[in-house]
Structure 1
Amino acid sequence: MKEKILITPRSYGKGMPELFERLENAGYEVVRNTTGGILNKDQVKAMLADCAGVIIGVDPLDADVLTAAPKLRAVAKYGVGIDNIDMDYCKAHGIKVSCTVGANGEAVADYAMALMLAVARKVPEIDRKCRKLNWGKITTRDVCHATLGVFGLGAIGRNVAVRAQGFGMKVIAYDPYWPEAFAQEHNIERVDAETIFRTADFISLHLPLMPETEGFVGEKELAMMKSDAVLINTARGGLVNEKALLKALQEKQIYGAGLDAFAQEPPEDDAWFELDNVVLGSHCAASTTGATQNMGRMATENLLRDLA
C-alpha cells in the first residue's frame, strides 16, 4: 500500500502538473485540499490521519493535530513562516520540518511596496470614487524621500529596503541578527525599535511570529507613531494588536495601514471593512506565478528528501 502525502495549499501545483507527477512517481498517493479554503483543525486531523508527509500552508498543525497523525514523518512548509507548526512536538517525535526559504522573497517585497503606495496615495478610495464618476481630487502623502523603518532584515525585509531606496527613501532598520555587510552596502542605518516607531514615515513588518514578537505593535507603539505614519504588515497577523490598531485607524491616530495578514482570516470585526484608511489583503503577498512555482518546487524536493 502506498504511503500518503497531504497537500493543503490551494496554489500548489497550479500550472505545474509535474509536481504531482513527481510525488506519484516517487511512490506516494497524493491527498489534496479540495475545500477551496484554509483547513480548520478538524479537517486537517481527518485528512492527515494516515499520511506520512504533508505540504502545509497556513493551516493549523499544532500538537493536537499532530497527535492524530501517528504515521507522519515529514512536514514541508509552503512558505517560510512556521508559527502554525508545533516545532517542539515535531522535534520530540522525530518529524522533520522544512520551509521554502527565499522562494517568495521578491513577491512579498513587491506587495509590501504596493501596499505602501496604495495606502499613501489612497489608490482604492480614488478608484471607488472614479467608478461613481466623482472626479474630485484627493490630497495624499508622499512616498518619495520619506523614511522607511523595516523590522526584520531577512530575505523579504532586505528586498523591501532595496526597493524603497529606488523611491529615494531613507531606510532605517531593526533586527537582533544584524546583517552588517548588507546594511553597509545599502546604506541602511541600524536603530532600536523605539526610534523606528517615533521617526519613521512608513513601517514595514518582516518579523517571524514567536512568543517574544506576538503583539509587537500594540497601543504603546501606535501612540509613538507620527500622525501621518503608515503601518505595513505582510508577515503575520499576530505581530499586531489588532484591537489597538483598529482603534488607532478609526480615530485617525495614524495616516493608514496596509495589512495582508490577520490573526484570524478574514477578521471577525466588520469594522475593518468600513475604514477608508486601510488596504486589506487576503494573505496573498506571495501569490504570484513565480513565487508559487518556486515554493512548489522547493516544498516538493524538501518533502521527498526528508521522507527518504
Structure 2
Amino acid sequence: MNDHAMRTVVVTQRFFDDETIAYLKSHRCEVRLAELPPGEADGELTEDALVQMLADADGWIVGHARVTRALLSKLPRLQVIARRGVGHERVDTAAVADLGKVGAIAVGGNDACVADHALALMLAVSHRLRESQMQMNAGSWTILTGADLYRKTVGIVGLGRIGRGVVQRLQGFEARILAVTGTPDEAWSRKMGVAHVDLDELLASSDVVSLHAPLTPATRMLIDAEALARMKPTAILVNTARGGLVDDAALLDALKAGRIAGAGLDVFLSESDPSCTSVTNELIALPNVIATPHSGASTREGLLRTNRIAAQCVVAVLEGGAPPPACVIADGRHRAGST
C-alpha cells in the first residue's frame, strides 16, 4: 500500500470520542463508526453483517464481537484488530496469527475504573445500599445493619493490573489482604501487606472475595458450589472480571439459602451463554445483589483512555510498526512475509 494512501478504520463500539477520531484522521485514517441497532452491541452482530461493515477495512476497533477464523478469512484487506478492552477470549488469536494479521488489546486503559468499580460493589453490598433504598421506596425507613469494610479480610483472586489496583485502594481501609495469583511478586506483596495463600484458605478466611483473574480453562467455574460452601455465611463475592469464573446457578442457590451474605456482580455467564439468562434475571432480582451490566470499565475517563490506546495500536500497525508489547495478543505478519 502507498505510504500516503488513506486507510479505513472501522469502529464497532459505541462511545468513541471525537479526539480519538481526530487522532486517527491525523494519521491518514478514514474513520467509519458502525451504526448499531438501539440497545445492541457489536457482540450481537452476525458474521454477514460484520463482513459487510469490514469488507474494505484496514483496521478494526472492536468491542465484544467474536473474531473468528471464518470471519477473518473473508477479510483479506484487514491488517489489525484492536480491542477496546483487555479481555480477548472472543478473539481467535491463532487465526489472527495464521492469517498474517495483528491482534491488540488496550492494556492500561481501564485498570483504574474497574478497580474503583470493585470497591464500589464491595461497599454497596456491605452497607446494604440497594436493600435500604428498596425499603424506602416502599415507604419503610427501617434501618438495616450493614458491615464495615474497614479492617476486614479481603481475598483477591488474581493480582494483575486491576487486582493490584484494588489492593492499593484497600490500603485506606486498613484491610487484611489475602491473594491467590500465578507468580507472586514477593517484594511488592511485602510492601503492600499481601499474604499469598491457596484458594481454600482465601475462601474460608475472607469477608470479601473479589475476582480479578483471566478466564482460562483452568479458571472456568473457579467459584462453584464447593467453593461457595467454603465461604463465610457473612461474606460477599465480587466479580468484575469474567462471568465464566463463577457458576451463577450455584451462586444463586447460595444466596437464596443464606450461605453467603451478598454479591456484587458486573459480569454474568449469560453474556456468553444465553441459556443462563433466567439465572441472571433471578440473581439481579435479589435484594442482596448489586448488579451492573458489564459497565465497570465504562467511565468517561476510562473510555477515553481505551479508545486512544486501541487507536494507537491500529496506527502503529498500519504504519508498519508494532503496538507496545503488552498490548499485542497475536502478530502473524512474519508468516505473511512482512517485516
The normalised TM-score by structure 2 is: 0.85
2:277 paired residue among 268, 271, 290: 268
Shift of 1:232: 0.5
Which residue in 2 is equivalent to 1:137? 143
- Amino acid in structure 2 at the alignment position of 1:279: I
1:1-308 alignment runs, 5 A limit: 2-13=6-17, 17-35=18-36, 36=38, 37-39=40-42, 40-42=44-46, 43-265=49-271, 268-269=277-278, 270-308=281-319
Shift of 1:41: 4.5
Question: SS at the partner of 1:51?
Answer: coil
Q: RMSD of aligned C-alpha atoms?
A: 1.8
- Structure 2: distance between partners of 1:214 and 1:33: 32
Asked whether the 8 Å contact 1:201–1:226 carries over to 2, the reply is: yes
Q: Deviations over 1:52-110 (max 9, x none)?
A: 21111222223233233222211111111111211111121221122221111111111
After superposition, the Cα gap between the structure-2 partners of 1:241 and 1:146, relative to the gap in structure 1 and judged at 3 Å, is: same
- Structure 1: distance between partners of 2:194 and 2:284: 35
Residues paired across the two proteins, number: 305
Shift of 1:290: 1.6
Q: Deviations over 1:223-263 (max 9, x none)?
A: 11111111111111111111111221222221111110113
- Structure 1: distance between partners of 2:207 and 2:12: 38
Moved more, 267-276 or 117-126: 267-276
Q: Deviations over 1:30-58 (max 9, x none)?
A: 22133242122414343233322111122
**Structure whose CA Rg is larger:** 2
Asked whether the 8 Å contact 1:165–1:171 carries over to 2, the reply is: no
Asked whether the 8 Å contact 2:111–2:161 carries over to 1, the reply is: yes
Shift of 1:2: 4.7
Which residue in 1 is equivalent to 2:328? none
- Structure 2: distance between partners of 1:70 and 1:263: 33
After superposition, the Cα gap between the structure-2 partners of 1:29 and 1:264, relative to the gap in structure 1 and judged at 3 Å, is: farther
Asked whether the 8 Å contact 1:41–1:60 carries over to 2, the reply is: no
The normalised TM-score by structure 1 is: 0.93
- Amino acid in structure 2 at the alignment position of 1:286: A
- Structure 1: distance between partners of 2:255 and 2:166: 24
Where does structure 2 lack aligned partners over 5 or more consecutive residues?
320-339
After superposition, the Cα gap between the structure-2 partners of 1:32 and 1:183, relative to the gap in structure 1 and judged at 3 Å, is: same
- Amino acid in structure 2 at the alignment position of 1:296: N
Among all aligned residue pairs of Structure 1 and Structure 2, give the percentage whose two residues are the same amino acid.
34
Asked whether the 8 Å contact 2:284–2:290 carries over to 1, the reply is: no
